[in-house]
Structure 1
Amino acid sequence: MTNFRLATLVAALLLPFLGCAQARPQAGIQVSHLVDSIEHSLKTHYVFPDKARLISRRLKSQAKKNAYASLAQDPEKLAVLLQEDIYKAHHDPHMAVEYNPDFARRRQKSAQQSGEEIRQFANWVRENNFMFKKVELLPGNIGYFPFNVFVEQVKEAKPIIASALGFLANSRALIIDLRENSGGEPEMVSQLESYFFKEKTRMNSIVQRANQDTTFYYADPAKTDGITLSMPIYILTSNKTFSAAEDFSYAMQQANRATIVGEVTGGGAHPTMPFSVGQGFVVHIPFARSLNPITNTDWEGTGVLPDVKVEAAQALIKAQELILRERQATAKTAKDKQKMEYLINTLYVNRDLGTLPLDQFDQLAGTYGPLVIYREGNKLLCTFSGNKTELAHISKNLFVLDENAQIEFVKDSKGLYSMARLFIQNGEIFEELRK
Structure 2
Amino acid sequence: MKNPTSYFLCLLLLFGKTYLCNGQATTNQAIKVDRLIESINLSLEKHYVFPEKAQAITKFLQTQTKKKAYTSVSKDPQKLAKQIQADIYKIHRDPHMVVEYNPNLSGRIQGKVEPSEEEILQTKIFGKENNYLFKKVEVLPGNIGYISINGFLEHINEAKPIIESALGFLANTSTIIIDLRENNWGGEPDMVSQVESYFFKEKTRMNDLVNRTNKDTTFYYADPAKTDGLTLSMPIYILTSKKTFSAAEDFSYAMQQAKRATIVGEVTGGGAHPTMPFTVGQGFVVSIPFARSLNPVTKTDWEGTGVIPDFKIEASKALLKAQELIFRERQKMAKNEKEKQKLEYLINALYVNNDLLTLPLDQFDQFTGTYGPLVIYRDGNKLFCKFADNITELAHISKNRFVLDGNAHIEFVKDSKGNYSKATLFVSDGGIFEELRK
Fold equivalence (TM over 0.5): yes
- Counterparts in 2 of 1:388 and 1:210: CA distance versus 1, 3 Å: same
Q: How far is the alpha carbon of 1:14 from its aligned partner?
A: 4.1
Q: Is the 8 A contact 1:290 1:297 kept in 2?
A: yes
Q: Deviations over 1:278-325 (max 9, x none)?
A: 234332211222221112222222221111111111111110000000
- Unpaired runs of at least 5, structure 2: none
Q: How far is the alpha carbon of 1:118 from its aligned partner?
A: 2.1
Report the Cα distance in structure 2 between the residues aligned to 1:110 and 1:36, rounded to whole angstroms: 22
| Residue identity matched to 1:173 | T
In structure 2, the residue matched to 1:235 is 238
In structure 1, the residue matched to 2:49 is 47
TM-score, length-normalised on structure 2? 0.92
Q: How far is the alpha carbon of 1:132 from its aligned partner?
A: 2.5
**Aligned partner of residue 243 in structure 2, secondary structure:** coil
In structure 1, the residue matched to 2:64 is 62
In structure 2, the residue matched to 1:333 is 336
Q: Deviations over 1:344-377 (max 9, x none)?
A: 0000011222332211111100111111111112
* 1:169 equivalent in alignment to 2:171: yes
In structure 2, the residue matched to 1:383 is 386
Q: Deviations over 1:192-215 (max 9, x none)?
A: 101111111111122222111222
In structure 2, the residue matched to 1:305 is 308
| Residue identity matched to 1:374 | Y
Q: How far is the alpha carbon of 1:73 from its aligned partner?
A: 5.0
Report the Cα distance in structure 2 between the residues aligned to 1:384 and 1:402, rounded to whole angstroms: 11
In structure 2, the residue matched to 1:398 is 401
Report the Cα distance in structure 2 between the residues aligned to 1:13 and 1:66, rounded to whole angstroms: 29
In structure 2, the residue matched to 1:21 is 25
**Aligned partner of residue 135 in structure 1, secondary structure:** strand
Report the Cα distance in structure 2 between the residues aligned to 1:120 and 1:79, rounded to whole angstroms: 31
**1:173-212 alignment to 2 at 5 Å?**
173-182=175-184, 183-212=186-215
Identity %: 69
Q: Is the 8 A contact 2:425 2:433 kept in 1?
A: yes
**Aligned partner of residue 285 in structure 1, secondary structure:** strand
- Unpaired runs of at least 5, structure 1: none
Q: How far is the alpha carbon of 1:340 from its aligned partner?
A: 0.5
* 1:421 equivalent in alignment to 2:421: no
Report the Cα distance in structure 2 between the residues aligned to 1:177 and 1:98, rounded to whole angstroms: 34
**Aligned partner of residue 300 in structure 1, secondary structure:** coil
Report the Cα distance in structure 1 between the residues aligned to 2:9 and 2:295, rounded to whole angstroms: 22
Q: How far is the alpha carbon of 1:70 from its aligned partner?
A: 5.5
* 1:407 equivalent in alignment to 2:410: yes
| Residue identity matched to 2:20 | L
Q: How far is the alpha carbon of 1:418 from its aligned partner?
A: 0.6
Q: How far is the alpha carbon of 1:136 from its aligned partner?
A: 1.0
Q: How far is the alpha carbon of 1:246 from its aligned partner?
A: 1.0
Q: How far is the alpha carbon of 1:66 from its aligned partner?
A: 4.1
Which of these residues, 145, 154, 157, is aligned with residue 156 of structure 2?
154
Report the Cα distance in structure 2 between the residues aligned to 1:388 and 1:76, rounded to whole angstroms: 68
Q: Is the 8 A contact 1:232 1:258 kept in 2?
A: yes
**1:314-329 alignment to 2 at 5 Å?**
314-329=317-332
Report the Cα distance in structure 2 between the residues aligned to 1:215 and 1:63, rounded to whole angstroms: 38
Larger deviation, residues 247-256 vs 66-75: 66-75
**Aligned partner of residue 326 in structure 2, secondary structure:** helix
Report the Cα distance in structure 1 between the residues aligned to 2:116 and 2:269, rounded to whole angstroms: 28
Q: Is the 8 A contact 2:21 2:105 kept in 1?
A: no
Which of these residues, 353, 370, 375, is aligned with residue 372 of structure 1?
375
Q: How far is the alpha carbon of 1:109 from its aligned partner?
A: 8.5
TM-score, length-normalised on structure 1? 0.93
Which of these residues, 85, 89, 92, is aligned with residue 90 of structure 1?
92
Report the Cα distance in structure 2 between the residues aligned to 1:396 and 1:379, rounded to whole angstroms: 15
Larger deviation, residues 316-325 vs 138-147: 138-147
**RMSD of aligned alpha carbons:** 2.2
Larger deviation, residues 95-104 vs 49-58: 95-104
Q: Deviations over 1:127-149 (max 9, x none)?
A: 44333343211111111111212
In structure 2, the residue matched to 1:281 is 284
Report the Cα distance in structure 1 between the residues aligned to 2:19 and 2:196, rounded to whole angstroms: 33
Q: How far is the alpha carbon of 1:187 from its aligned partner?
A: 1.1
**Aligned partner of residue 231 in structure 2, secondary structure:** coil
Report the Cα distance in structure 2 between the residues aligned to 1:374 and 1:9, rounded to whole angstroms: 62
- Counterparts in 2 of 1:35 and 1:128: CA distance versus 1, 3 Å: closer
Report the Cα distance in structure 2 between the residues aligned to 1:168 and 1:240, rounded to whole angstroms: 26
In structure 1, the residue matched to 2:144 is 142
